[in-house]
Structure 1
Amino acid sequence: MIKKLRNKFKYFDWKLFIPFITLCIISIMAVYSASGVNAHNSAIYFLKQTIYVGLGVCIVLVMAHLKIDFLKNPKFLFGNAVFLIVLLLIALNSASINGAKGWISTGLFNIQPAEMCKLFLALYMAQKVADRAHKREIGAEIKNTFPIIIVVGMLFLILIEPDLGGFLINLSIVLVVYLAGLNDFKKSFKLLATGFTVALVGLQVLRFFNPFAYGPLKHWGYMYQRFTAYFTPFKYANAEGKQLVNSYYAISNGGIFGVGIGNSIQKRGYLPEPHTDFILSVIAEEKGLIGTVVVLILLFLLIGRIFKIGIRSQDLYKSLICYGIGTFMFIETMFNVGGVNGLLPITGVTLPFVSYGGSSMVVLTASLGIVMNISANQRRQKK
C-alpha cells in the first residue's frame, strides 16, 4: 500500500500544490473573520468553506491521477456544451441577485454556470485549436461553424445575464487560446494591443456617455453605476461608490502590519460582500500590506507555474489547456485586485482560492488538477 502511494505521488507537482493548499488555509481563516460579527453566521461560513476546501483537495487529487484523454472526446465536449447552455438558459430565468441572474439555487448550494464555462472553454478551445494546428488550418476561414456557435452562444448568454466580469474572463480565455495556437507572435501582439486600446478608449467614453440609459439596455442600468463609482467614488460615497470607498478605508486602516485578525472595522456592515468580492480588503485591513503581499505572491507563483508547465509541454493541446486555465486565473485575480483598490471598475469577480464560494472552488480545483496531471506526465516522460 505504501509503495503504491509513493508511486502515485512520485511525480506530484508540489510547487503547484503547496501554494494552493496555503491559499486554502488562508481562505478558511479569512472567510471566518470576514463573514461578520455574528458568531453563528461566522461558524456557518467557516464550516461551509472548510467543506468546499476539503472537496476541492479531493478534486485536485482525483484529476491529477486520471487519464485526461477523455477530455478530448467529442461526445464529452458536446454533452458538456449542451449541459452548460441549458444551465445558462435556466440562470437567465432565475431570481436576480445584485442586478444579475447568474445563479441557480438547489436549496443546499448555488450553481454559477458562468464559472463552469471557464474550464469548459479552456478545454474546448484547446481541442479545436490544436486540431486545426495539426491540419494547418490555423488562420484560415473556419468551415465548420458549430464550434463558433457554441463559443459565441455561451459568451452571449453570459453577457445578457448580465455578467460583465464573467463575460470578459471567458472572452479572454477564448482569445488567448486562439492566439497561442496561431504561433505568430507579431500578429497575436497586434491583436491583443488593439483589443486593449479599444477597451481603454471605451472605458473613457463611459465617463461622458451612458449607453445603458436607452432601449433594451435599460435593465443593465446597475452596471453603469459601477462605472460611475469607479470614476468618482467619493461623490457617490453613500450610494454606488460605497463599496469602493469602504474598501479604501479598509486598506488605509490596515497599514503595513494590519489591525489583527478579527479586528476589521469595515466588515461590520460597512463593506458589502466582505467574505466574497471584497475579502482582499478585509485581509488588507487585518493583516496589512504584508498579509496582502503574501496572498498575491502565492497566487502569482501558482499562476506563473501553470504558464511555465504550458510552455514546457511538447503537446500543443496540453500547452493550450495550461494557457487557458492560467489566463482565467490571472484575469480573475487582476479584476478582483483592481476592483478593490480602484484601478479597475468593480465587476463582482471573486479572488481565486481565497473568496467564499462552492462553484468557484470546484471549477478552480478541477482546473488545477488537470494542470497537475499534465505536469506529472511531463516529469514521467522526462524520467
Structure 2
Amino acid sequence: MVYRYESDEDAFVEHPEPGSDLSMLGAGPPPPAGPSPSRFPTPSLPRATRMALPAPEPEPLRAAAPVSPPPPAYASAPPPAYDPAPPPPTGYDPAPAAAAPAPVPRSGGGRLWQVLVGGAAVLVLLALCGLGAAALLADRTPDPQPTPSYQAGAAPSAQPEREDLDSRDTDQAPLTAKELFAGKELAVNDGQPAYQVLKTQSSGSCAVAATDEVADLLVRLGCSQVVRGTLRAPDGTHLVTAGLFNLTDKVSAERARDRIRQLLDERQGRFRGMEAGDDTEAIASAPARVGWQVRGHYLAYAVVARTDGETIKSGDPAVREILFDIIELHLNRGVLQRRADGGTASQPTAGPSATTGTQDGASEIPGD
C-alpha cells in the first residue's frame, strides 16, 4: 500500500492539531532510538580490551525544557547514530577489568651463561670419548717393528748366547792357549801378587800331558785336546803346570775324574809337569801334589812341585792355596765361566768337585 500526500502541507506538518488524523497516527509513546532489540539478548559485559570508565556523577536537577514531540513515524527523519556498545542499564556498575600484568623481561645474561656452560660440557664429553677410542685403538694396534738402520763398521749389538758346557756338541769351539793364559802374568786375586806365566802349550793329543794308564784312560773317553801352561808361584819356591782336558761330554769327564784317583794310588800313571827353561826341571821329575776337578765336559788339573825338588808335606797350606787359586778361581770361575756366558745354556752346569792327590816323580819325561 502506498500512502500519498494530499498536499505539500501535509508532508511537512510539524505540530498536528489535536483530534486530527495525523495526531491519531502518531499517538502512543515514541519508539526507542537505536536498533531493535534482538530475540536472543546477550549480557552486557564490558570488553576485555576496553577499560570501563566510572559512572559520571548525577547532575543537579534542572527545569525541564519544553520538548517538541517527535516527528511522526512516516516522517523522513535522519536515522539515529548507532552505538555498538550500549551503556549498561541504570544502577549496574560493573567492576573495572583487572589490568593485565606487565610482562617481566627475561634475563638475557642467564640464558647466555646456560648456553655457554652446556656447550663446554658437550665439548669435554666429546674429547673424553675421543681419547678413550684412541687408547683402545692403540692397545689393539700392534707396534710397528722398527727397521734396523745399518751403519758401516758398527759392531753387532746382539748379546752372546749362553753355552751348554755339558757336551762338546753344544760347546764346539776349541780351547786356545790365549784363552787360558792371556799374558805373561796371571793375577788371580786383586791386590795379591801375580803368577808368572813361563810357557803355554795347546795339543790335540791328550797323551802329552799324562803317562801310562792315565793317558790311555783319557784317550778312551774321547779326549780331543789339552791346553796347559807352566807358571811360577808368587812365593818363588813353587812351580805349577795346569790346564784343561777337552772330553766328549759330562759323563765321560766324571768317569775320568773317578778313575784317575785309583790309577794314581796304584802308581799306574800320572799327570806330567812341563818344563819351561832353567830352574824348572823339578816340575817334571820331582814328587808333586796334584788336583783335578770336572765342570761340564772339561777336566781341569794342576801339578805343584817345589823348585828345589824336595817332597811336599801332606796338608801344606801354601800348596793347597796354589791349587785353589789355579783350579777353582782361574780355570773354573774364570776361563770356563766366560765360556759358559758366551753360549746357550739350557740348564746350569753342576758345580765342580775338586780332587787332590800325590804322584811320584819320573826319571824321564817323554814327549816334551
TM-score scaled to structure 1, two decimals? 0.23
Q: Which has the higher helix share?
A: 1
Q: Which has the higher strand share?
A: 2
More relative contact order, 1 or 2 (CA 8 Å, 6+ apart): 1
Larger radius of gyration: 2
